[in-house]
A and B are shown apart, each in its own frame.
Chain A
Amino acid sequence: EIVLTQSPGTLSLSPGERATLSCRASQSVSSSYLAWYQQKPGQAPRLLIYLASSRATGIPDRFSGSGSGTDFTLAISRLEPEDFAVYYCLQYGSSPYTFGQGTKLEIK
């Protein structure tokens, strides 16, 4: 099983700042089959990024993904108030699929 470790656990930033979230895998993720999700309280997760760097439909271009192998990053260039949420990475290249434990992005 591939273990995904997200860091930091909590990130405190102000609107307008840049956020950088990390997702590190215990072994190489096949073909960069890695996605990022945003989850707000009481809501289902929303797909942001797939294939490590492709934005999902309707996702603003301030969200970007990068990385390959075992190290992946989600960047949010200029934080908007609605971006404060919990973010999860998911690897879907090998069974079982696995999620990271999440990074909480909170308002400073």
Chain B
Amino acid sequence: EVQLVESGGGLVQPGRSLRLSCAVSGFTFGDYAMHWVRQAPGKGLEWVSGINWNSGTIAYGDSVKGRFTISRDNAKNSLYLQMNSLRAEDTALYYCAKDTHYDILTGGSVDVWGEGTTVTVSS
């Protein structure tokens, strides 16, 4: 069974940093691109970032570019999101999600999602 389990969320002050992790199992992690998607309370879905199988192709949403960094460790079956200079508008449930392809922007959709980890940015 494919499983994605996010961790690392919590309450953080504006301007501070936080690192999210996603541990995966049930599939060959290194064969697939991965994504982070977030959902602010009571709002819709927002794509945050995507990374291809070997970290050679990375993309970010405009609202996080320059502040967030996505990375992966295929040996540890883990995906990460380093979030710096956090703002109140970054408050959301952050989902880790699997692509159907090895690369992003090549026609693979997002097919499997974790349950999310909550990030709250407040003083």
Contacts and interface: CB of A to CB of B under 8 A. Distances in A.
B47 interface: yes
A88 B110 contact: no
A13 to B, nearest CB: 21
Interface of B: 35, 44-47, 50, 59-62, 95, 100, 104-105, 107-116
A98 B47 contact: yes
Nearest to A98: B47
Contacts of A47: 109-112
A97 B35 CA distance: 10
A79 interface: no
Q: DSSP class of A's interface residues: helix, strand, loop or mixed? A: loop
Nearest to B112: A47
Among all A-B residue pairs, the 5 with the closest Cβ atoms: A44-B113, A50-B109, A97-B47, A95-B59, A35-B109
5 contacts: A33-B109, A35-B110, A45-B45, A90-B47, A96-B61
Given A56-B111, A99-B46, 4 more contacts: A31-B107, A44-B116, A96-B61, A96-B62
Interface of A: 1, 31, 33, 35, 37, 39, 44-47, 50-51, 56, 88, 90, 92-102
A65 B13 CA distance: 43
A101 B112 CA distance: 20
Given A92-B110, A96-B59, A44 B95 contact: yes
Contact of A102 (B44, B50, B108, B112): B44
